Amino acid sequence: MAGRAWCRRVVGAALAAVLLGTSCSAPAPRDSAATAVEALLERRAEAVLGRDEEAYAATGGPGAEFDHLAQVPLHSWTYRLIRLDRTRTGATATAALDYRIAGHDRAPVTVERTLDLRRRDGRWYVAAERPGPDAGEQLWEQGAVTAVRGERSLVLGVGQGESRLRRYADLADRAVPAVQRAWGRGWPGRVVVLVPDSTQDMADLLGASASSYQGIAAVTTGESGGGVKAPADRVIVNPESYDLLGDLGQQVVLTHETTHVATRAATSDATPLWLSEGFADWVGYRGTGRAPEQAAPEVTREVRAGRVPQQLPDDAAFGFAGDAGRLARAYESGWLACRMIAERHGESALVDLYRKAGAHPGREGAMAEALRDVLGLTPEAFTRAWQDYLRRVLG
């Protein structure tokens, strides 16, 4: 919070200097336009949070987004003005939108917004509001949101029937206790699932190209290493791919993504993707009775052809835009490594290894230290053990 406040003060001072042409040698008075726009954004936020349609309309358009938010259980909704650029016809505001979903977000989710403003009869109005240049869409911008509450979940969907969303909520409700049994209860034990209408809509939520998510059933967004104050993650489902899975596959995927929600505070830049993704798959498959050759067909094919992987996959191997076979082998390899650890050293050792690696101050040396302290192995010895395990269970 201190860092955010500092940034806001600096931006505010720079904004006043630009608009008023003052020097940096003395504090600049607050620009009247910025003050008026801040008041406008405050009224707009209060109208959204209070479900006051008339007050919202008084701030300007568009009205559709207000209607689309009707079922979203908001705990808070505020704008923070970052920048105001005057134009020939009005102004363009860059703002940070902070919002929290009731019962789920422990801290605000922050997204950048761009608002086109017009001035009429001495007052400012919002002519249009959209994502910032580097931000994705919000679900309510894609249509009216339907909300379905589960015992441990909240599912928000656009273009989806309530019965279909109830199915997602049931799967999420089963995923949460499965994750708690594997990881523990040191997390809120709730999950928010977003279900857009298509792969393209999913990509728009993520601010990415749809081609990057073809065949990807779901992803989880969030802030790594954010601690207990980090906002709740969002599991975003790609219905076009997810709905092609069978019952087991759907449950495994949602349990995998829920694992990312649970482990986020213990995940950092020091955590290699083979461990974070492998652990999530291990939790997803845990207790299903799925055989290694069934869950890891790509690596099985390689091992039986005499091509045992020489090393665990690096982070680049997990890129969605790359080769599909390489991506599958990366996930399978990470899962098999975590499965081996749990079998040979115990499930608690696998959890300890995850936490130890994520607590390291940087990537360099993180896994070497974690492997030594938790498993008593060097990275080289661990790799050899993993290769031997692949030969034994897949060969």
Are the C-beta atoms of 105 and 231 separated by less than 8 Å? yes
For residues 295-323, one letter each, b for 16 or more C-beta atoms within 10 angstroms of the residue's C-beta and e for the rest, the string is bbebbbebbeeeebbeebbeeebbeeeee
**Which residue, 283, 256, 263, 278, is CA-closest to 389?**
278
Q: Please choose, from the candidates 164, 150, 151, 232, the residue with its C-alpha nearest in 3D space to the C-alpha of residue 196.
A: 164
Half-sphere exposure of 61 (CA within 13 A, CB side): 4
Query: In 3D, which of 112, 253, 115 has the Cα closest to residue 178?
Result: 253
End-to-end alpha carbon distance in the chain: 53
282 SS3 class: helix
pLDDT (0 to 100) of residue 220: 94
> CA separation (Å) from 213 to 107, 111, 244, 384?
28, 22, 15, 34
Q: What torsion do the CA atoms of 280, 248, 198, 143 make, to the nearest 10 degrees?
A: -90
Cβ count near 272 (within 10 Å):
19
* CA gyration radius, the chain: 24
Which pLDDT tens digits describe the chain residue by residue (395 residues)? 333 222 222 222 222 222 223 333 333 345 789 999 999 999 999 999 999 999 999 999 778 999 999 999 999 999 999 999 998 889 999 999 999 999 999 889 999 999 999 999 999 999 999 999 989 999 999 999 999 999 999 999 999 999 999 999 999 999 999 999 999 999 999 999 999 999 999 999 999 899 889 889 999 987 665 555 555 689 999 999 999 999 999 999 999 999 999 999 999 999 999 999 999 999 999 999 999 999 999 999 999 999 999 999 999 999 887 788 999 999 999 999 999 999 999 999 999 999 999 999 999 999 999 999 999 999 999 999 999 999 999 99
Residue type, 197: D
Whole-number pLDDT of residue 233: 87
Q: What pLDDT was estimated at residue 225?
A: 55
Spatial CA neighbour of 236 closest among 333, 354, 320, 156: 156
Token representation of residue 143: 């249509």
**Using CA atoms, how far apart are residues 225 and 220, in angstroms rounded to an integer?**
14
Q: In the prediction, which pLDDT does 323 show?
A: 83
Q: 259 is written with which tokens? A: 């694992």
Tell me what pLDDT residue 324 has: 87
Q: Between β-strands 191-195 and 153-158, what pairing exists: parallel, antiparallel or unpaired?
A: parallel
Report d(CA 262, CA 254) in Å as an integer: 12
User: pTM of the entire structure?
Assistant: 0.88
- Taking each helix axis from N to C end, the angle separating 273-285 and 247-263, rounded to the nearest 10 degrees, works out to 130
Return d(Cα 315, Cα 180) in angstroms, integer: 26
| Beta bridge partner(s), residue 77 | 99
What residues have CB less than 8 Å from 343, skipping those under 6 apart?
Answer: none
Q: In what order do the strands lie in the sheet with 145-149?
A: 145-149, 153-158, 191-195, 234-237, 218-221
Sorted by where each starts, the structural domains of the chain and their CATH numbers stand as: 35-135 (3.10.450.50), 140-263 (3.30.2010.30), 268-395 (no CATH)
Would you state the structure tokens that stand for residue 83, as one six-digit string?
Answer: 């920048």
Please answer whether residues 163 and 249 qualify as being in contact, where contact means their C-beta atoms are separated by less than 8 angstroms: no
Q: Which pLDDT does position 169 carry in this prediction?
A: 98
Cβ atoms < 10 Å from Cβ of 261: 26
